[in-house]
């Protein structure tokens, strides 16, 4: 029962298709029973011939032919229908797993590789669902085997005992090999996750790889991973080879032993010719079932590992979902307050310590400080990438943990140093935010971000594909397009996370111009390394050692803040 619990989530998904699955199972079950009669009919036909009853033999063979055709068609029809259900189940399981992955907290993606998540969403879901038809086939044939066993028992308890001994020995063999096979498959799966993760990173970062000249280093690294994968696969193959050899020996012993026993009993007149012919047919059915079980043992180990990996996501066994409230921000003003906030990343000291600050709406607010002092953490907490350990954060007086996810995401937009753009057209990147957005609206947002003229100069204009991560754009162009996309969200609060630190002066001036336009009706928070970006801010906060150490305008801080003055002078020298 404990093992079946692992499958409860998948069975829950399958429940909506229960009637279709049941009909498929019944079809396979009936076709399996049709095959049961074949051994008996073959024996009867042969016995009728020995009695020189040719007519009776032909009639029996015609019945055999009809049952054979009927059983074959019913089985194929049922398995075809089941395959269609499998496709739907695989699709829904993938959807749910993908949805759950997107709901995981940010630290989950620091502890697990992208390859591992990709494998779980795609390969693991397919592995689970594609085993259904094999499982159904085995279950129905096992039921048929029980019926056959009863028939054998009534005709010869000696042969029935031989079969029972074989089944017991085979069950012990399966029990012995099962944990080794499961462990070998799990090891190979983990190594494959690592390989997929590196390939994914290599493709996404191919330009950086070329410019850094690290192709050979990555190639050698992947080669080592593939070598480990090969060794793990080889170990798994060797285990299955041993398992198959033992299974085949047992199968051969059953076939030869039962035939010899049957021949002796027939010679002594203790069984009929019909039963002897039937038993030769049914023993092959038993060995065929054993082959199926042998094959399914491998599938089951793969399925079990995949089910565990999927359940870790679907049932939150590794990481909890980020929980949101139900309150909504109506007519958001953009007043942000950090109240006695303390926070540390896993296995690190506190980054923010009893942090208190209020960011007023409709202002350009700068946040500066040395690296590692907690600036980006402010944004991570405000957007709930991470949650506070102590204290709370409010927007318009409402604790952000009480807000619905939709309300929080709708009212905050983030423009990062390296904004993520999807490998779609410019227009499609906007339609992801609102699929009803018109091209006219998109152009208006792009005009506000001073990027429309550039887009209109492109051959395909707004139908231009951006490439992976927006590689076809310069840094400044990506920033401006990201700002336009943020404007399309109509967010009241806009966060710039070192958005101009890697830009040339011309691009920086464009961004500053956009920011100044936004301040009129947005709360704009800017984390900046380059102080020139926020020199004209309404207020600048100096963060040091996880606390607000100073605040004021540029002129006030030059006079009163030692930290700010040091940072400013350092920038002037550079």
Region of poorest pLDDT, from 60-69, 132-141, 316-325: 132-141
Parallel, antiparallel or unpaired: strands 336-344 and 390-395? antiparallel
DSSP state of 437: -
What kind of fold does domain 336-573 have according to CATH? Rossmann fold (3.40.50)
What is the percent of the chain with per-residue pLDDT over 70, rounded to a whole number? 84
Tokens of 354: 């009893």
**491 vs 99: CA distance, rounded Å:** 24
> How many Å apart are CA 305 and CA 188, to the nearest integer?
11
pLDDT of 459 above 60: yes
Cβ atoms within 10 Å, residue 234:
12
Give DSSP secondary structure letters for 350-410: EEEEEEEEEEPSSSEEEEE-STTSSHHHHHHHHTTSS--SEEEEEETTEEGGGB-HHHHHH
Equal fold, 19-314 vs 336-573: no
- Residue 564's pLDDT is what? 81
Domain boundaries, the chain: 19-314, 336-573
Q: What phi and psi, each to the nearest 5 degrees, are found at residue 572?
A: -60, -40
**Do you know the residue count of the chain?**
574
CA 476 – CA 483 distance, rounded (Å): 11
Question: Which of 168-172, 418-422, 487-491, 492-496 bottoms out in mean pLDDT, i.e. has the lowest?
Answer: 418-422
CATH number assigned to the domain covering 19-314: 1.20.1560.10
- Quick one: pLDDT band at residue 448, thresholds 50, 70, 90? confident
Element (H, E) at 338: strand 336-344
Give the 3-state secondary structure of residue 5: helix
Determine the pLDDT at residue 1: 44
387 phi, psi to nearest 5 deg: -110, 150
Give pLDDT tens digits for 349-358: 778 888 888 8
Label residue 302 by pLDDT band (50, 70, 90). low
């Amino acid at each position: 029962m404990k093992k079946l619990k692992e499958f409860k989530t998948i069975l829950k998904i399958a429940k909506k298709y229960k009637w279709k699955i049941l009909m498929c199972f019944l079809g396979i079950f009936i076709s399996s029973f049709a095959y049961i009669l074949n051994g008996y009919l073959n024996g009867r036909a042969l016995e009728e011939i020995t009695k020189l009853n040719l007519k009776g033999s032909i009639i029996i063979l015609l019945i055999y032919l009809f049952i054979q055709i009927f059983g074959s068609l019913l089985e194929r029809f049922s398995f075809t229908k089941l395959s269609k259900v499998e496709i739907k189940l695989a699709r829904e399981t993938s959807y749910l797993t993908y949805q759950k992955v997107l709901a995981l907290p940010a630290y989950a993606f620091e502890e697990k590789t992208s390859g591992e998540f990709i494998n779980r969403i795609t390969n693991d879901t397919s592995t689970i669902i594609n085993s259904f038809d094999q499982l159904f086939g085995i279950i129905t044939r096992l039921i048929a085997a029980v019926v056959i066993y009863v028939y054998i028992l009534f005709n010869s308890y000696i042969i029935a005992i031989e079969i029972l001994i074989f089944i017991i020995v085979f069950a012990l063999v399966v029990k012995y090999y099962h944990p080794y096979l499961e462990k070998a498959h799990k090891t190979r799966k983990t190594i494959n996750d690592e390989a997929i993760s590196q390939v994914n990173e290599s493709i996404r970062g191919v330009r950086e790889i070329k410019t850094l000249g690290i192709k050979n280093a990555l190639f050698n690294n992947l080669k080592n991973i593939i070598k480990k994968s090969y060794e793990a696969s080889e170990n798994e193959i060797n285990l299955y080879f041993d398992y198959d050899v033992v299974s085949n020996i047992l199968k051969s012993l059953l076939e030869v032993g039962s035939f010899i026993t049957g021949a002796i009993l027939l010679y002594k007149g203790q069984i009929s010719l019909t039963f002897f012919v039937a038993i030769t047919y049914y023993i092959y059915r038993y060995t065929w079932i054993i082959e199926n079980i042998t094959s399914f043992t491998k599938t089951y180990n793969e399925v079990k590992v995949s089910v565990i990996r999927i359940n870790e996501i679907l049932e939150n066994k590794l990481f909890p979902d980020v929980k949101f409230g139900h309150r909504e921000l109506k007519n958001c003003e953009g007043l942000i307050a950090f109240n006695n906030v303390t926070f540390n990343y896993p296995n690190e000291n506190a980054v923010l310590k009893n942090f208190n600050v209020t960011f007023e709406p409709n202002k350009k607010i700068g946040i500066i400080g040395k690296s590692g002092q907690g600036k980006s953490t402010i944004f991570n907490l405000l957007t709930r990438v991470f949650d506070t350990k102590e204290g709370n954060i409010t927007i318009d007086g409402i604790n952000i943990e009480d807000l619905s996810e939709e309300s929080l995401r709708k009212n905050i937009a983030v423009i990062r140093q390296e904004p993520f753009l999807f490998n779609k057209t410019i227009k499609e990147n906007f339609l992801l935010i609102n699929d009803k957005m018109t091209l006219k609206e998109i152009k208006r947002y792009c005009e506000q971000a001073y990027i429309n003229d550039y887009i209109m100069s492109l051959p395909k204009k707004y139908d231009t594909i951006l490439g992976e991560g927006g590689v076809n754009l310069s840094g400044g162009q990506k920033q401006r397009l990201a700002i336009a996309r943020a404007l399309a969200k109509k967010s009241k609060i806009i966060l710039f996370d070192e958005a101009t630190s890697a830009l040339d002066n011309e691009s920086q001036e464009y961004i500053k111009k956009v920011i100044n336009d936004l301040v009129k009706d947005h709360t704009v928070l800017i984390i900046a390394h380059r102080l020139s970006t926020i020199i004209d801010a309404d207020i600048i906060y100096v963060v040091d050692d996880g606390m607000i150490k100073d605040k004021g305008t540029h002129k006030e801080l030059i006079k009163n803040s030692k930290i700010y003055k040091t940072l400013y002078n350092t920038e002037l020298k550079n």
